[in-house]
Chain A
Amino acid sequence: MTTLAHQSTAIDHDLLRRGHVALRHDGAVLTVTLNRPQVRNAQLPATWEALANIGSQVPDEVRVVIVCGEGSSFSAGLDRSAFDPSPGSLLTRLATATTPVADEAIAGFQLAFSWLSDPRFVSIAAVAGHAIGAGFQLALACDLIVVARDAQFRMAEVGLGLVPDLGTSAPKRRSGSASPWRAFRWPNWTPPSPIWPPR
């Protein structure tokens, strides 16, 4: 089981390439783009490793982080390869690993999302098209969500017999308690457009 590197000292551009994540830093604004439009920006473990790497390297001058998807969709969620019943697929490896190993692996995945609630900046998810499963969770990890008229949200994990486990149910660190976002976190909930931030 490969676990994510929890500590890094620089942006790893090779990792970003493997994770299909593009990064643009323009003064106070950092833009993170999921860049795999041919599969509606489906996420791989390498995507999460790249996001965690970015999160560990946000420059101090950054005040706003924008998360978006290349092409017509924000993200269709976890890549289909994870659901393959073969022994090498992600979900099979997690299910068959020892509890400490599986726990450490998922904790690493959670790092890809948790940095987006860092109080040093405000994170914005720009959601057009599909935000499914891990895509929906990525949007929910952000402080604000701007929603296009064609946006579709679905928490697919529950229908698959799983739960969203990338920090979606966790209270925002900023508020220190269960936030108003909780109301948005029920499975299969379709938000109105646009969503405005909680007060």
Chain B
Amino acid sequence: MDAAVADLAAALIENPPESVRAITSLMAAALVNSPTEQLAAERTAQIGLLRAMMRAG
């Protein structure tokens, strides 16, 4: 169990924090959003992340 949790934590840390925050927010929003709202939320998150990625080069 400890190893599995440590592996999971390590995998999460490997990912860019902005995208982890974004996907965590999306997962939370999925509980209350309609499918249409959730698809729009995915698009909004992705456009913001793409622009940030472009700015960072």
Binding site for B on A (CB under 8 A): 91-92, 94-96, 99, 102-103, 106-107, 110, 114, 157-173, 177-178, 182, 185-188
With A95-B50, A95-B51, A102-B47 known as contacts, the answer to whether A158 contacts B42 (CB < 8 A) is no
Q: Which of A91, A157, A171 contacts B35 (CB 8 A)?
A: A171
Asked whether, in the complex, the Cβ of A171 is within 8 Å of the Cβ of B30, the reply is yes
With A102-B47, A187-B15 known as contacts, the answer to whether A163 contacts B33 (CB < 8 A) is no
Tell me, rounded to whole Å, the shortest Cβ–Cβ distance linking A112 to chain B.
12
With A170-B38, A187-B15 known as contacts, the answer to whether A99 contacts B54 (CB < 8 A) is no
For the residues of A in contact with B, the DSSP-based class is loop
Kindly list 18 other residue pairs between chains A and B, CB separation below 8 angstroms, not including A160-B16, A170-B38, A182-B30.
A96-B54, A103-B43, A107-B43, A157-B19, A158-B16, A158-B20, A159-B14, A161-B19, A162-B50, A163-B46, A169-B26, A169-B27, A169-B42, A170-B33, A177-B31, A185-B27, A187-B15, A187-B23
Tell me, rounded to whole Å, the shortest Cβ–Cβ distance linking A79 to chain B.
17
For residue A162, which residue of chain B has the nearest CB? B49
Q: Which of B15, B41, B45, B54 contacts A95 (CB 8 A)?
A: B54
Q: Which of B19, B43, B45, B51 has the most CB of A within 10 A?
A: B43
Interface size on B, residues (CB 8 A): 33
Asked whether, in the complex, the Cβ of A94 is within 8 Å of the Cβ of B50, the reply is yes
Asked whether, in the complex, the Cβ of A103 is within 8 Å of the Cβ of B47, the reply is yes
Asked whether, in the complex, the Cβ of A173 is within 8 Å of the Cβ of B35, the reply is yes
Which residues of the partner chain B approach A168 to less than 8 Å between Cβ atoms?
42
Tell me, rounded to whole Å, the shortest Cβ–Cβ distance linking A96 to chain B.
7
B5 contacts partner chain A, Cβ-Cβ < 8 Å: no
Asked whether, in the complex, the Cβ of B18 is within 8 Å of the Cβ of A161, the reply is yes
Assembled-state Cα–Cα distance A160/B26 (Å): 17
Asked whether, in the complex, the Cβ of B42 is within 8 Å of the Cβ of A170, the reply is yes
Tell me, rounded to whole Å, the shortest Cβ–Cβ distance linking B40 to chain A.
8
With A169-B26, A185-B27 known as contacts, the answer to whether A158 contacts B15 (CB < 8 A) is yes
Assembled-state Cα–Cα distance A103/B40 (Å): 8
Asked whether, in the complex, the Cβ of B30 is within 8 Å of the Cβ of A169, the reply is yes
